[in-house]
Amino acid sequence: MSDVIEKVVDITQLASYINKIEELSSVSKMLAPVYLRDFIIGQDIAITLYARAVKADAKAKAKLEYAESIAYLESAKAYLDANSIKDTSEARKQYVNIDPSVLEAKDQKAQTEAFVILLKGKVSELKQAHDDLKKVIYADPSMTDYEGM
């Protein structure tokens, strides 16, 4: 995982809440309030981590744009001269795609973007688990166990 993400987001604190989703089908009415609370806490943690990941993604985007600018304005000339390539705007644009610092910045940006998508999904997953449990537990008492789903 990216150093940027590791410094900003610790997903291990979310794992215990995500694991409770697998227990959803065996939750009794007596334990339901505890699980509902846990899913709410899990959503809160996931939303906080999601916000941090979005911030890290925005920073990664800024670093990528900076690396691209430096590659175009400073690094391209030396590369083009060393390889006997005419220094044109198009040649500089092509160099940006192979510059090592740009490639590294693109990799970090991809990692932060993927993490944002993952956390957005976890927020949704916890919300759905909370809502599903409410439907099952607090459904009309005249319904059978399966009608509330």
Residue 59 lies in a domain: yes
pTM: 0.80
Residue 88 lies in a domain: yes
Residue 110 lies in a domain: yes
Residue 145 lies in a domain: no
Residue 12 lies in a domain: yes
Report mean pLDDT in 10-residue bins for the chain, 149 residues: 60 90 87 94 95 96 98 96 95 96 97 96 96 83 53
Angle at 44 between CA 110 and CA 24, to 5 degrees: 100
Residue 79 lies in a domain: yes
Residue 64 lies in a domain: yes
Residue 147 lies in a domain: no
pLDDT at position 147: 47
What's the domain count of the chain?
Answer: 1
Q: What is the span of the domain harbouring residue 131?
A: 3-137
User: Tokens at residue 26, please?
Assistant: 């065996």
